[in-house]
A and B are shown apart, each in its own frame.
Chain A
Amino acid sequence: MASPTYIDATATAATAEKLPLLGATRPTSAHTVSTDQLNLAGSIVRLKTDATDAATPYPLASLGWYLRACPAPPAAGAVLEIWLPGGRTLLFCAPPGASAQTVVRRAAAACGLAPSQLALFCGGRRLLGPAPLGQAGGVRKGGTLRVVQRLLGGGPELTPEATLTAAFQKFVGADSRITKEGFVAALTHQGGGRAITREEAEARFGRFDVGDDGAVLREAIVKAWTALAPPPAPEAEGVPALGLTRVTAEQAEGALLAAEQAAEETAAMVTAEQAAGARLASEQVAAEAAAVVTAEEAGCLVAEQAATDEAAAALVAALPPHLPPARDVAVSEDTLTRWKKYGGTEIEAVLASGAVALLDAKWLIELSARGGVLRPRQALPDEAFLSLSELHASTEEDLPVVCVSHCWLQPDQPDPRGHNLRAVARALASLTKGGNRIGVFLDFCSIHQNCRDRDGAPQDTAFAWLEKEGRLADGAVGRLPTKSSSSRRSAASAPSTRTRTQRSSCAPPSRPTTMTPASTLALAT
């Protein structure tokens, strides 16, 4: 079976210029993306390619042909490779306008968890909400989407509503009379076209002098929204153009409603028109895909893929480092027995699923010694972590696990100057004096982090200070995997027997992870 060719739909500005069919705007930089318009949600984008174009690095002709066959948004346009908790992969043919929500729902169904228990990450950044994935900045060339297990605590799930509520509180204050629902609805309204990002909303709201009067505020919000609404889409002809300055709140709301209805109708229309094309396209994609892909309903394909698959091996080679490493070491029966005796089984599931990764104490000590500071889990290299099997092997007289409890000094970085890191490293150095290895749980480094700014407001972009330093996990924005990529890690990262037999590795931990077994050490700083 022929492997699909990977197409770079988003390569350069020059490429974008050659895409007039798509109505693509010129990308702002070479590597951010025209995916807004293409709706090529996600990382490993597999499209049908035309064999005659194989010689060209970016077979635009076939791309164009493909999109002509399925006018935008392309139904079944993007096949996503999604890594699930527990190391399985999901081949997902994204329906039109697939959003983070869609992907998470699909992944949840595949691994038997509630969607609220999963979070979708691309690179260091969490993808959220109903906006098409292509619109999310940072879904980059060669990136890989990860679905990870959310753990308990840390506030409500970071939904768009929660994000906007935070924005609301930030800009309006708690005593305002405007209802939260109104605010959230106004900002998240999708009928006119694109979702409004928090930054845009912030910029817009910054211009309004918002008083305590809820009515005034409401008007301001509607104005803000209407000002942000993109020009009406050609399909939505029934929508009256909105004058930005003259419209009243009522008018604006009426227009919003109309736009909503129109958009719904449009969507229905498009679906009907495209059904055949979509099915055709999905069949083609399915035929081309290396894995066995079963076609379900129009445009939606889901298949579990064997880890031995060549394409998967290539993916594995490009594995971003924010899952726990899969290094396997020999573990004796005695050691395993001790691991069980000290309560290791209680934390095994949550470690095996990758929801929690334990740091290698040695790495922390070295980090402290060279004057480093902590980074969020997504930004840490493989060698920062202990694999589950290494942890097993380190079990001697106690469970080799230390949990660190510490004050976060800033919402975006718990320990900006490394003060607590030094204190912890000092203690760890004493505890590992005998050369024993210890896995360290430190929330910021062990659990996938939502991005927040210094004031604690959820961020759409990745940790700004990390991006600035270019330190966000290189693999997350790494190269497009090629077929010639070495599959050196395929064996290592194929789930070990233990993990594979444990379907329960996807199950939520029976006990909160902060609840450490009695023989675990807790450090407080």
Chain B
Amino acid sequence: MKPYFERGWCFCESSWAAMVKHYMLVLDLGKDAGEEQFYAYYCFQGRKAPVLPEEFVAQLVCKGFTNGNTDTPLVARLYREGFEARFGVATKLLYIGLGWGDEEARAVARVLLRAPALEALHLENNSIGAEGARALAEALPHAPALKLLDLDNNSIGDEGARALAEALPHAPALQVLSLVSNSIGDAGACALAEALPRAPALEELSLFDNSIGDKGARALAEALLHAPALEKLGLRFNLIGGEAKAALRTAWGTRGGVYVYDDGRLLAHLGPGLGWAY
């Protein structure tokens, strides 16, 4: 018997469902562990990444249809129309906690080029590495409306941070970049710091819970002075020493506004010259 994903219509249905749905609205009941209680969370895992219509057609070739001659062109057309209709107007994509890695991130990056209205892309709580981050970074210049990219709790590392930093100057609308818990060290922080002054719209950069040391922090402090658009910089739970923290406070003070974070939450926006934030 053909398994689910080898069957034409099953494959199509899963592809349709995989396009723009909220991450909690696609359940794979094969993941249900059969425990006394039904945990929907297990069933979110392993959702397919969205595919382009061309890729869809290519994959369709090896799927089994009872009526292949008529159904194959039909579903190909339906998928293309559906894809254009859904991604053409999608403003927010929530692919959270789906267990995705680099391959899925690459797929999302390809789709980004066809989602002109997209404003927020949520990919937190996945396992995206440097390669995936690079693919996304390369797509950023082609996402004219993208304001928010959330990659919290992935593992993009220094390499990934560097790739994103290189793309920042070319991301026309990106206001929020969130890279919490991504194993980013000094090298990544320095690369980001270098790009900050040239990022046209970036207002918030979250780097909580990484491995940034003094060197990275100093570079960021320096960059603060030249990045007037940046309003929030989250650096708690890193490896920053006292001196570097002081440098950051000074830089904020010079800028005239202070944002106080605690555990990633914005606690207060203090008046000019009042102190520190990291």
Chain A residues at the B interface, C-beta cutoff of 8 Å: 152-156, 398, 403, 405-407, 409, 411, 423-424, 426-427, 429-431, 456, 511-512, 514-516, 518-525
Complex alpha-carbon distance, A155 and B67, angstroms: 5
Which of B20, B29, B85 has a CB less than 8 Å from the CB of A525?
B29
Task: Give the residues in chain A near B13, CB-CB below 8 Å.
Answer: 403, 405, 514, 522, 524
Task: Give the residues in chain A near B16, CB-CB below 8 Å.
Answer: 514-516, 522
Q: Is B1 an interface residue (CB 8 A)?
A: yes
Complex alpha-carbon distance, A519 and B17, angstroms: 10
Which of A155, A407, A424, A511 has a CB less than 8 Å from the CB of B10?
A407
Complex alpha-carbon distance, A409 and B14, angstroms: 18
Given the interface pairs A152-B78, A430-B40, the reply to whether A409 lies near B1 with Cβ below 8 Å is: yes
Complex alpha-carbon distance, A405 and B18, angstroms: 12
The binding surface of chain B is classed by DSSP as: helix
A-facing residues in B156-211 (Cβ within 8 Å): none
* Nearest opposing residue in chain B for A407, CB measure: B4
Contact B74 A518 (CB under 8 A): no
Complex alpha-carbon distance, A424 and B43, angstroms: 12
Contact A154 B71 (CB under 8 A): yes
* Nearest opposing residue in chain B for A398, CB measure: B25
- Tally inter-chain residue pairs, CB-CB below 8 A: 105
Contact A426 B27 (CB under 8 A): no
Contact B71 A518 (CB under 8 A): no
* Nearest opposing residue in chain B for A399, CB measure: B25
Contact A524 B67 (CB under 8 A): no
Select the residue from B29, B40, B69, B78 with max chain A CB neighbours within 10 A.
B29
Complex alpha-carbon distance, A459 and B137, angstroms: 56
Least CB distance, A164 to chain B, in whole angstroms: 15
Which of A426, A429, A456, A512 has a CB less than 8 Å from the CB of B66?
A456
Least CB distance, B38 to chain A, in whole angstroms: 4
Given the interface pairs A403-B13, A426-B38, A518-B21, the reply to whether A524 lies near B75 with Cβ below 8 Å is: no
B contact residues, total (Cβ < 8 Å): 39
Given the interface pairs A153-B74, A518-B90, the reply to whether A524 lies near B32 with Cβ below 8 Å is: no
Contact B29 A429 (CB under 8 A): no
Contact A427 B14 (CB under 8 A): no
Contact A512 B10 (CB under 8 A): no
Given the interface pairs A426-B32, A524-B27, the reply to whether A514 lies near B78 with Cβ below 8 Å is: yes
Complex alpha-carbon distance, A156 and B71, angstroms: 8
* Nearest opposing residue in chain A for B93, CB measure: A518
Least CB distance, B93 to chain A, in whole angstroms: 10
Q: Is B139 an interface residue (CB 8 A)?
A: no
Chain B residues at the A interface, C-beta cutoff of 8 Å: 1-4, 7, 9-10, 12-14, 16-17, 19-22, 25-30, 32, 38, 40, 43, 66-67, 69-71, 74-75, 78, 81-82, 85-86, 90
Contacts A411-B66, A426-B32, A518-B21 known; list 11 others, CB within 8 Å. Answer: A155-B71, A403-B13, A407-B10, A423-B32, A427-B43, A429-B38, A431-B40, A512-B82, A514-B78, A516-B16, A518-B19
Complex alpha-carbon distance, A520 and B27, angstroms: 11
Given the interface pairs A515-B82, A520-B25, the reply to whether A156 lies near B20 with Cβ below 8 Å is: no
Task: Give the residues in chain A near B82, CB-CB below 8 Å.
Answer: 511-512, 515
Top 9 closest A-B pairs, CB basis?
A155-B67, A522-B17, A405-B13, A430-B38, A515-B82, A525-B29, A512-B78, A423-B29, A521-B25
Given the interface pairs A403-B17, A427-B43, A429-B38, the reply to whether A511 lies near B32 with Cβ below 8 Å is: no
Given the interface pairs A407-B4, A427-B38, the reply to whether A524 lies near B28 with Cβ below 8 Å is: yes
Contact A524 B17 (CB under 8 A): yes
* Nearest opposing residue in chain B for A411, CB measure: B66
Complex alpha-carbon distance, A519 and B19, angstroms: 11
Task: Give the residues in chain B near A522, CB-CB below 8 Å.
Answer: 13-14, 16-17, 21, 25-27
Given the interface pairs A407-B7, A427-B43, A515-B82, the reply to whether A524 lies near B22 with Cβ below 8 Å is: no
Which of B19, B27, B69 has a CB less than 8 Å from the CB of A427?
B27
Least CB distance, A180 to chain B, in whole angstroms: 13
Given the interface pairs A426-B32, A524-B13, the reply to whether A153 lies near B27 with Cβ below 8 Å is: no
* Nearest opposing residue in chain B for A420, CB measure: B29
Task: Give 20 CB contacts A-B under 8 Å.
Answer: A403-B13, A405-B9, A405-B14, A407-B1, A407-B4, A407-B10, A424-B29, A427-B43, A430-B40, A431-B40, A512-B81, A512-B82, A514-B78, A515-B16, A515-B78, A515-B85, A518-B19, A518-B90, A520-B25, A524-B17
